[in-house]
Amino acid sequence: MTDDHQFELAITASGAETRYPDLDCVGKLTRIGASKSYVFFVETITKGQADKGGRCPDGTVTVARQGNKLALRWFGSIQDDVVVAYGTLSKK
């Protein structure tokens, strides 16, 4: 099954946030580690939580620079199914 969803990532000096405009969800990212090539985050949904009737579960996000873009992978569990989503992000 393949579903496409809009995804926005904002990283600032004070933190990082995800937005899923078409799902009406927002998440907070907590950086848990980094290597030379990757940054690892835990995502906590703060608006539209699946366990509160929304459409978005908590997950993990891995980000890597890919030229002038960011490669991103999301991993989580939705209704007892493991889900992996990935894509390439461009600067807005």
The residues, any chain, with a CB within 8 Å of residue 44's CB and separated by 6 or more, are 27, 28, 30, 58
Domain total of the chain: 1
Q: Residue 74 sits in which domain range?
A: 8-89
Confidence band, pLDDT 50/70/90 cuts, at residue 5: confident
Q: d(Cα 65, Cα 89) in Å, to the nearest integer?
A: 10
Q: What is the pTM of this model?
A: 0.88
Strand 15-20 relative to strand 38-47, pairing: unpaired
pLDDT at 2: 64
Please state, in angstroms and as integers, the Cα–Cα distance from residue 21 to each residue in 9, 33, 48, 56, following that order. 11, 27, 11, 11
- Whether 2 is in a domain gets the answer no
pLDDT tens digits, one per residue of 31-78? 999 999 999 999 999 999 999 999 999 999 999 998 889 999 999 988
